[in-house]
């Protein structure tokens, strides 16, 4: 009986491992050779940082996620500036256009409206300024400041996200991440870390690391 159970476990284990390897292969094929090469290089760089930071920790990536999740000022790993500029020429990251406000006006009660003319339906953001000291607002200065702050509009999607979508079926970690991105758009790195911690398993660390690296540097 024990031998039968062991045999069944081995069949399940190797079937699951084969499924994960197939998912990774499909992901990398969708991502593209150049983008996969750069992303794997970033993971290697990131692993070196983790190995130096947590020499005595067994689960280094999980430890890093926990620190980000629990810290008000987490230590966020950033890609080298020159390397990032080189990578941005590929399709790994999404490409954005800077859209400056069409008009900005003071609505009253410390609220400013910012309007953009690039949308078919029109986009107007209301921004409230906290005035704890009850000082008089310099309305002209705030308006000029808001006029110089662009909104980023995605013009080309990230191949990374497209490739994740191609392998999301059957993987709850990827599904939950993509659902959150679709709902919220921009997610704070602490919430990303929380979500990855919740669904983290040894078999999905491949994707979890890559999601975190992309979120920290997009």
pLDDT in tens, 150-192: 777 778 889 999 999 999 998 999 999 999 988 877 788 999 9
Looking at per-residue pLDDT, the higher value among 46 and 149 belongs to 46
- Eight-class DSSP state of 121: S
Looking at the structure, do residues 29 and 90 belong to the same domain, yes or no?
A: yes
Looking at the structure, do residues 42 and 127 belong to the same domain, yes or no?
A: no
Provide the number of structural domains found in the chain. 2
Looking at per-residue pLDDT, the higher value among 11 and 59 belongs to 59
Looking at the structure, do residues 180 and 104 belong to the same domain, yes or no?
A: no
Q: How far apart are CA 174 and CA 168, in angstroms?
A: 6
Look over the chain and give the mean of its residue pLDDT values, rounded to a whole number: 83
Residue 11 lies in a domain: no
Tokens of 198: 């919740």
| Residue ranges making up the domain that contains 106 | 99-155
- Eight-class DSSP state of 101: -
Looking at per-residue pLDDT, the higher value among 29 and 137 belongs to 29
| Percent with pLDDT over 90 in the chain | 50
Q: CA separation (Å) from 13 to 6, 7, 17, 58, 119?
A: 10, 10, 6, 23, 51
Range of 19-28, 30-39, 126-135 with top mean pLDDT: 30-39
pLDDT, residue 132, reads 57
Q: How far apart are CA 135 and CA 49, in angstroms?
A: 46
Looking at the structure, do residues 181 and 193 belong to the same domain, yes or no?
A: yes
Tokens 């040894």 belong to which residue? Answer: 202
Residue 206 lies in a domain: yes
Residue 209: is it exposed, middle or buried by C-beta count within 10 angstroms (0-12/13-18/19+)? buried
Is the pLDDT at 107 greater than 50? The verdict is yes
Residue 147 lies in a domain: yes
Within 32-171, where are the H helices?
33-53, 60-70, 81-87, 139-147, 159-166
Range of 50-59, 180-189, 202-211 with top mean pLDDT: 202-211
Residue 105 lies in a domain: yes
Whether residue 94 contacts residue 161, with contact meaning beta carbons closer than 8 Å, is answered with yes
Looking at the structure, do residues 107 and 182 belong to the same domain, yes or no?
A: no
Last residue of a domain, one of 135, 155, 175: 155
Q: How far apart are CA 83 and CA 42, in angstroms?
A: 10
pLDDT, residue 28, reads 96
Looking at the structure, do residues 84 and 170 belong to the same domain, yes or no?
A: yes
Q: How far apart are CA 141 and CA 146, in angstroms?
A: 9
């Amino acid at each position: 009986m024990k031998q039968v159970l062991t045999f069944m476990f081995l069949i399940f284990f190797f079937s699951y491992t084969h499924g994960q390897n197939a998912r990774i292969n499909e992901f990398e094929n969708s991502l593209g050779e150049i983008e996969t090469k750069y992303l794997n290089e970033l993971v290697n760089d990131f692993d070196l940082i983790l190995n130096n930071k947590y020499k005595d920790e067994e689960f280094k990536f999980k430890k890093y996620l926990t620190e980000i999740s629990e810290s008000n000022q987490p230590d966020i790993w950033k890609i080298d500036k020159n390397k990032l500029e080189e990578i941005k020429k590929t399709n790994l990251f999404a490409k954005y256009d800077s859209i400056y406000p069409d008009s900005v006006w003071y609505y009253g009660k410390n609220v400013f409206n910012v309007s953009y003319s690039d949308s078919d339906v029109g986009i107007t953001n209301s921004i409230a300024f906290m005035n704890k000291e009850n000082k008089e607002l310099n309305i002209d200065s705030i308006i000029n400041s808001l006029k110089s702050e662009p909104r980023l509009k995605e013009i080309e999607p990230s191949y990374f996200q497209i490739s994740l979508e191609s392998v999301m079926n059957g993987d709850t970690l990827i599904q939950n991440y993509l659902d959150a991105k679709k709902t919220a758009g921009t997610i704070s790195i602490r919430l990303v870390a929380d979500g990855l911690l919740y669904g983290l398993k040894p078999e999905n660390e491949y994707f979890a690391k890559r999601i975190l690296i992309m979120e920290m540097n997009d």
